[in-house]
Chain A
């Protein structure tokens, strides 16, 4: 079962270092107590994942990842942190039972996933993806996936209008 017949090519080395960066960022985010540190280390993970997307010939998705996650979501979370108060961080009583149960559950889930991945047989031959990735994605998006694209635009508009309407301060009754 544990025959990791890995060929140490350049691609594997790049994958390995980026994967280490991503996992280190995620694990540090779990261990930090200050919220700003958590956001920063998760931004590090998102950048490492963008590098992995480039490694997978998905350049356009990698740029979208940097723009959307490292740019928008991280800044949104930092604004959220600034607008709320975080004085009592790290002073709440620990909940060892809940944390142990959650850790056991997550490790079990990972074990099941790892076992399934090890036992699956994946195709070995790789067909090349188109070279001009962004152009191909644009053509697909506006021909074959035009209706889902319009639907997702409507969803995004509705969600942002809803967010503005939710967060708008209501008039004082008096």
Chain B
């Protein structure tokens, strides 16, 4: 088992744990955090391929920097939506986020 395969397996484990958290947790803050965990697993893949891939280069690291930036923006906007929601309904339970249900 090469080092690249080990890194990819670790990223797969983290991604699946994060996915389980997103699917089962009810607190919206925890769901946001689990999405961050999934994004981190993808970043680990990008950086592992930037060292051990077919053509090792810095492109993977630069793309992971872009991913982190988008993740930070997503966390900020998600938290703002959450605060507005909490102000209106006094709950952060994702089961009650059904205002837009048809």
Contact = CB atoms under 8 A, between A and B. Distances in A.
B84 to A, nearest CB: 6
Interface in B44-75: 44, 47-48, 50-59, 61-62, 64-66, 68-75
A129 B51 contact: yes
Contact of A106 (B19, B51, B86, B92): B19
Contact of A38 (B33, B40, B93): B33
A52 B8 CA distance: 12
Interface in A94-146: 95, 98-99, 102-103, 105-107, 109-110, 113-114, 117-118, 120, 122-124, 126-130, 133, 136-137, 140-141, 145
Interface in B5-44: 5-10, 12-21, 23-24, 26-27, 29-30, 32-34, 36-37, 40, 43-44
Interface of B is mostly: helix
A2 to B, nearest CB: 9
Interface of B: 1-10, 12-21, 23-24, 26-27, 29-30, 32-34, 36-37, 40, 43-44, 47-48, 50-59, 61-62, 64-66, 68-77, 79-84, 86-87, 90, 92-93
Interface of A: 3-6, 11-12, 15, 19, 22-23, 26-27, 29-30, 35, 38-39, 42, 45-46, 49, 52-53, 56-58, 60-61, 64-65, 68-69, 72-73, 76-77, 79-81, 83-86, 89, 92, 95, 98-99, 102-103, 105-107, 109-110, 113-114, 117-118, 120, 122-124, 126-130, 133, 136-137, 140-141, 145, 148, 152, 155-156, 159-160, 162-164, 166-167, 169
